[in-house]
Each structure stands twice: as C-alpha cells, then as structure tokens.
Structure 1
Amino acid sequence: MVTQEERVQPSQINGQLTSAQGVVEQAVGSVLPEALGSASWLESGAELQKQGQKEVEEAKAQKALGATMDSGVAKAKTAFGYLTSDQETQDQGNQESQKAQADYKQATSDKPFDIPVPSVEGMKGRLETVEGMIKGDQEKQMEGNLRVEKAAWKDGV
C-alpha cells in the first residue's frame, strides 16, 4: 500500500477506497474477540477511514481550485472573442467555461458523481448559438454565446 507521504496527487477514488478499507477493518474488529486483537483492528480501521476521508477532501479542494482557475481563463477567452468578433475563440471559451463549471460542481459535491444540470437560460443560449451556426447568422450566434455566458455567470452552468 502506498503511504500518504509517497502520494504526489490526492485522489478521490483512492481516498474512497482507503476509507472503505478502514470501514471493513473496523467491522472485522467489532466481531473479533479481544484476545485476537480486536482493539488494534478497530484502531487501524478508524485511522484508515480518517486518512481516506482526508485524501478525498484534499483531492476535491485541488480539483475545485483548478476548475476555478480554468473558468477564469475560459471567461477571459470568451470575452476576448466577443470583443474581437472572433466567433471561434468565443465558442472555445464558452466550451472551456462549461467544462470548468462542471468540474467545479463535481469537486464541491458530496455525491460520488454529480452531473450538472444546465440552466434554462443557458440551454436557450446554446440553441440560439446552434441556430446561428446552421443559418450562417453570426449575429445570432454571438447573441446566443452572450446569453450562454450571462447564464454561466448567473446560474453557474
């Protein structure tokens, strides 16, 4: 088993596995007689569970920080694309922003898998953008992107 000091990056999955291993050890310790070392099983299991939970929290915090930074860069890219009328840059910024927001929601959620649900305004903006792309109407596409970006700032997705 890899010790906490040897790990370079905290991992939610590894932390959850370590925590589960601790729960199993505690369960074994709770049914063993004292003569067979139940106290050490209970103690070891509690420590593993604590280490696993700590690693999960560290991984979440690290992922949330990275997502926040990615979101800021993506929003700047979107704004730059809007100011320069560069639709491709604006689209890339919007896509990167959406991914960063989904990553942030996952990192801050208590659920193992949290699927972000887009806001109504964000979906309307995405549809407007697609309509503009299909019709070749750059104005409509820019309006849709702007609507998506406003929804992202307001609603988070």
Structure 2
Amino acid sequence: MNKDKNFFTGLFGRKHTEAKNDTQPATPPDDSQPTDGVAGPNSSDDEVTPENKGFLSRLRDGLSRTSKRLSDGVSSIVNKRPLDAEALEDLEEVLISADLGVAAAQRVIEALSRERFDKQVTSEEVSSALAEEVASTLLQHQKTLEIERARRPHVILVTGVNGAGKTTT
C-alpha cells in the first residue's frame, strides 16, 4: 500500500492533486465572449467541488440541504392555502422526498387531515405534527437496556445531535 494513502485518507482526506490535474482542460476557456449578465450554472465563486471536501463535511452538507428543502417545501405549501386534499398531497410529496419514509409521511398526513382539514395551518403546526409522529414511532421501539454481567467487556455507543445531553446522561 502506498505510504501516502491509507484507508482513512481515502474516506476523510482530500484527493491528490494528480487526479485534479487530469480533469483540467488543456486550454483555458475563452473569457472574451460577451455575456448577457446571467451567470452560468458553474459560476458560483464559493462553490466547493465534492472532491475537495471530507466525508463528514459532505454528510453535514447533505443533511442541511435535506432539512432546508423540507422546511422550505412545507412553508411554501401551508402558507399559501388552506389544508385541502391537494395541499395534503403536496405535503406528503415533500415529506417523502425529504426521506421521511412513505409510512411515516402517510401517518403525518392522516393526523393533519383529521385535525386541520380545510383550515389554515402554519408551518409550526406541521412541524409539531411531524415531531409528534417521530416521537411516537420511536416510543414504539423503545426497550430497556439489559446488561449481562457475566459477559464482559461491554461497549455502549451513545449517539445524538449536538446539545442533546450525551455527556451528562
């Protein structure tokens, strides 16, 4: 195995400059063409190519894009019209596209249609219904941790978002 490259470098490290140089065009692009003032699809100055980012950075970016897409989609649907059949269908589509899952999205839609059908709702009400559905789903799968003292060592992995109290529990 190459001494500059190991398993973790492949996962979390930056790509080598050799691979970068192969993808660059042989001649520089002609910038003398007049434009109509509209930027092209690749003209973002602060855009970083995926090969320059580590694994965790790409994961964080993907999750934030999903969260933003979900909140923007919910806001655009519920702030425009009352919660009718078409709005519920659009909301279900947004929830499924945000990786909530078909079954969970249907349960959220059913709960909203029972309580708020043909009424104006806010994005906060939809968020609270979503949070209640996630909490009830997690409670269904909750079980007590039973540690067998005879079998050692024990490894317990605690996960959670920042500020959830992983260190203090």
Q: Could you say which structure has the higher helix fraction?
A: 1
TM-score (norm 2): 0.26
TM-score (norm 1): 0.27
